[in-house]
Structure 1
């Protein structure tokens, strides 16, 4: 519990507003705090995550990745609270919005695994810590 409280304190110290949906889960807070610290280390001018930048990342379109999946919304739908569908397999994908899927962004290993795979597919490169934090911030408010 002390690690989670320290992560929240770090996020608040960096001036990051913690959305209500996020505040309900210490694991999500810790993940966001870790991305904030990394973003600050990568860019001293980093001040806070942006839900609007996260929305743009989610909605796309982007160039550089797979043209058929040039946005997260291509598989996850334009409504993050809706069930998505895998483009190739047709398998259902749990909603991305925290309001519809409270388990989203609570397992650091799973979060990194998904970003590692999906950023390359959508953007053609790895996501930055700021992009990851923006993305989680947007979906935490949905």
Structure 2
């Protein structure tokens, strides 16, 4: 049996191509009109099904983070959204016990604002986890 010569550049090119595909696939999970800073805070579980988080406002009041996020339904049919906020400390670990899932209906072509307050002052970042029911 002969040894085949595989140039070192081929695996590198293949890896770069796979990374580009993975990056494009993950970027397509969020609506293109959603700012990247907002999309980075959203953890989508499954398909978005016409729901987009277009704006997120985060402020620190009395040393506690407070967030408001606007969910927009880009479709004409009502959607049921399950969501919760996950609060993170300065190294990315979860702070507190975690919120329970909440359920909300976003009317067709409508918008809903969701709000939350961090459990402690140790929270410096967050993720909005969402699951949108298909109709």
- TM-score under structure 2 normalisation? 0.29
- The one of the two structures with greater contact order (alpha-carbon pairs below 8 A, sep at least 6) is 1
Higher helix share: 1
Structure in which a larger fraction of residues adopt strand: 2
Task: Please tell me whether Structure 1 or Structure 2 has the larger radius of gyration of its CA atoms.
Answer: 2
TM-score by length of 1: 0.28
